Amino acid sequence: MTTIQSNVDAATIGGRLASAEPSLASAIADWITTSDHKKIGRLFIGSSLLFAVGVSVLGGLLGFERMSAKGYSVLEADAVVQLFSAYQFALVYAVVAPLFVGLAIAVVPLQLGSRSLSYPRLASFGLWAWVSGLIVTLVSIAANGGPGGGNPDMVDLYLLALGLVALGLSAASVSIVVTVLTSRAPGMSLLRTPMFSWSALMGAMATVLTMPVLIGTLVYTYVDHANGRLAFGGNTDVSKWIGWSFTQPQTFVFAVMAVGVLAELAPIVANVRQPLRPVMLFGVTLVSTAALGGATQSTHSFSWNGTIADKVKELIPFALFNLLPILGVLIVLALGGLAAKNGRVKLTASFVFAFLGTGMLFVGMLVHALSMIGPAALAGTVAQESSTLYVVYGAVMVALGAVAHWGPKLWGRCLPKKEMFGLAALALLATILSSLPLVLAGFLDQPSNVVAGWSYDASGLLNAVSMIGHGLMLVTVLGFIGLAFKNFTSGAFASDDPWDAHSLEWSIPSPAPAENFSDIAIVGSAEPLLDVKPARQGVSA
């Protein structure tokens, strides 16, 4: 049995609506100093989407330069290393990581029946530390700092600023972990935690595990660079020591919550309880084993050489580091399909975004695993860049679907269905066009992180197609931002439960009140809203 008493007093709502509009200065100050988790989360999300615009532009620029491998068309040779550094950094730490941290901060307390986020000031600190570190990192790269930079002071500044970014993400992740562990509604055990909140717990714990490793690495590279530059190679070897944090499997850590979004939405669109729910939780958890790669600062390849015993010795760590996350995604996809089989699927744009985006994540994981197998000969080629693009752009697709799904609870309005379906198709095309040509170019031995110096007949075509893919992703993100700005400010009002959903956030008004719940909800299953609705099909948790 589930008891849900969360209606906000009508007089309170009326008084709030009748209150005087705040001045612009006070409104800005309120957002900057806010401890409301919904505002902190939206600031993370909005900032990340704006940086996604810049990343797609930079990716397109590098793709344009690669169309001719004989020389430099628009870039200077000395700037290429810094531009690739900025590109790799921004893909991971300006886009995918903060997008899902922001979603978790905004949504998880609502799903858990909590009136607030644990340690909201810590989350707010994490936001502004991330923003500050991000801006300083990009400025230092622009001033000839970063990996390979020629200005020693700017290289030092780059290392310090990147540490601030990692510290900010760690602080925000700690608040997420503590919220899930301590602020659940009565009756909500960990096994009854909503799928997205479970994935937020797994992803945030993996982030808290790996970001201190990055900070420690930055400390000793900074000390070495600021002094003798004897132990760690100075500016030219910065990427050698911190490059693991910009690529796979570390990117999988930040994509754990993306898999959780699909796990959350699948039973909703199928209109059933999730079959084999503990197995689904296990699948999401398996994806978070990617943190092993970050914590150890390494990946493991499979050379296929030597005796059978040698192959087995290589296969075990290879599978542990590279194949377990793939297995986790397969489990989520399979059980999502089982939910669809048990119910009557009514597609939403949010689910289409999540399903297609998770599919791209899965492809990126496969490309990464393939690049780690010796006979494929993809190590050091643009195929490894392709893996990152599949993961990051796939995760962005999922995040756009998540914003559309939970937007009514954060802004009180819905996004238009027809336009969102169109954007989902465009995002899929953008991800494939930007990434797949680089896989093919990898088999043709095009090296990564350079724009000249190779030779194969199809190089112009493949890199041109990749550039077009980045352009389409730019259009996708700009289109989504435009739709969101228009419809979340003046679109159709949303009902309290527009998706006929299962978890507690849909039991309160849209948009959610300042303190979320006026009364404590007591839950008796993993789908508390279904307990108070007419009987449904499917397997109970």
Written as tens digits, the pLDDT of the chain (541 aa) is 344 444 444 444 444 444 445 688 888 888 999 999 999 999 999 999 999 999 999 999 999 988 887 766 677 777 888 889 899 999 999 999 999 999 999 999 999 999 999 999 999 999 999 999 999 999 999 898 888 888 889 999 999 999 999 999 999 999 999 999 999 999 999 999 999 999 999 999 999 999 999 999 999 899 888 887 777 777 777 888 898 999 999 999 999 999 999 999 999 999 999 999 999 999 999 999 998 888 888 778 888 888 888 888 888 888 888 899 999 999 999 999 999 999 889 999 999 999 999 999 999 999 999 999 988 889 889 999 999 999 999 999 999 999 999 999 999 999 999 999 999 999 999 999 999 999 999 999 999 988 888 888 888 899 999 999 999 999 999 999 999 999 999 988 999 999 999 999 999 999 999 899 988 889 999 999 988 887 544 444 4
Q: Is the peptide bond before 212 cis (omega within 30 degrees of 0)?
A: no
pLDDT for res 535: 58
Helix (H) or strand (E) holding 481: helix 459-490
The residue type of 174 is V
For residue 113, the domain's CATH number is: 1.20.210.10
DSSP string spanning 257-310? Answer: HHHHHHHHHHHHHHTEEPTTHHHHHHHHHHHGGGHHHHHHT----B---S-HHH
Question: Could you tell me the CA-to-CA distances from 39 to 36, 49, 115 in Å, in that order?
Answer: 6, 15, 14
**Residues sharing a CB contact under 8 Å with residue 535, sequence separation 6 or more, in sequence order:** none
pLDDT for res 499: 95
pLDDT for res 21: 59
Q: Say if 24 falls within a structural domain.
A: no
pLDDT for res 50: 96
DSSP string spanning 154-172? Answer: HHHHHHHHHHHHHHHHHHH
Is the separation of the CB atoms in 412 and 493 below 8 Å? yes
Q: Which domain holds residue 236?
A: 10-14+42-538
Q: Say if 4 falls within a structural domain.
A: no
Q: Say if 290 falls within a structural domain.
A: yes
Q: Say if 33 falls within a structural domain.
A: no
Q: Say if 370 falls within a structural domain.
A: yes
Burial class (CB in 10 A: 0-12, 13-18, 19+), 317: middle
Looking at the structure of the chain, the number of domains it has is 1
pLDDT for res 71: 67
